[in-house]
A and B are shown apart, each in its own frame.
Chain A
Amino acid sequence: MSKKTFVKSDIVKDLQGHFQKIPNNNVEHIIESIFKYLSNALSEGRNIEIRGLGTFKVKKMPARNARNPKTGETIQIEEKNKVKWKSSKLLNYRINKDKKIEE
């Protein structure tokens, strides 16, 4: 199965047919602001929970020592925030329809 990459402009195309009254530029603009809103919320430390899609959480990763596998040199990695993503059960079910999965 060849993989296709679906990008934002494809979402705009998908929505066009449903909202003929709204100009294209506005559709694109609002989709951009939706995702801008989501990334702003994450940077404020709010979690995102979209039913049917999944959740996004910001998690603080503590500072740690790591090693360069090539040179064996130890380096310090600073504390940083990471986005944790968990897909919703509904989504897991939808992409695994053809498989039987025991929980």
Chain B
Amino acid sequence: MVILLIKLKTILLIIMSNNVTRQDLYDLTYKELGISKNECIKFVDLVFESILKNFEEGNKVKVSLFGSFDVKDKKARIGRNPKTKEEKEISSRRVVTFKPSKFLSKKINK
């Protein structure tokens, strides 16, 4: 019962929040390209897949007018759990950073 309520809540949140998801992009390609729905799904997924593949290879990805992604190496460091104040080593890892383009920064500050 409780699980059901939580599920309902998340579904409601998804509908109300109006987030952009892959689904919106499928619809957009469908409208613009006029190819079958399955092809549109394949198209959008391949766009992101080709970006993800480059992250795996450690490449920088630049999308003009949107922003650039960079893969950075982080050294291991000691972190603290803010709640319990317990110290623990955070292992070295790779992270992806995003920097919005000037165009995008201007756009959201209108």
A-contact 0/1 string along B79-110, CB 8 Å cutoff: 00000000000011111111010011101111
A42→B104 contact, CB < 8 A: yes
Q: Which of A10, A35, A36, A41 counts the most B-chain CB atoms under 10 A from its CB?
A: A35
Residues of A within 8 A of B65 (CB): 32, 35-36, 39
A49→B19 contact, CB < 8 A: yes
Residues of B within 8 A of A10 (CB): 50
Known contacts being A51-B21, A83-B100, A91-B96, is A30 close to B107, with CB within 8 Å?
no
> What total count of A-B pairs have CB within 8 Å?
148
- Secondary structure of the A side of the interface? mixed
B91→A33 contact, CB < 8 A: no
How long is the Cα–Cα vector from A92 to B95 in the complex, in angstroms? 7
B interface with A by C-beta (< 8 Å): 17-22, 24-25, 28-29, 32-33, 35, 39, 42-44, 46-48, 50-52, 54-67, 71, 91-98, 100, 103-105, 107-110
A interface with B by C-beta (< 8 Å): 1, 3-8, 10-11, 14-15, 18-19, 21-22, 26, 29-43, 46-54, 56, 58, 80-83, 85, 87, 91-92, 94-97, 99-102
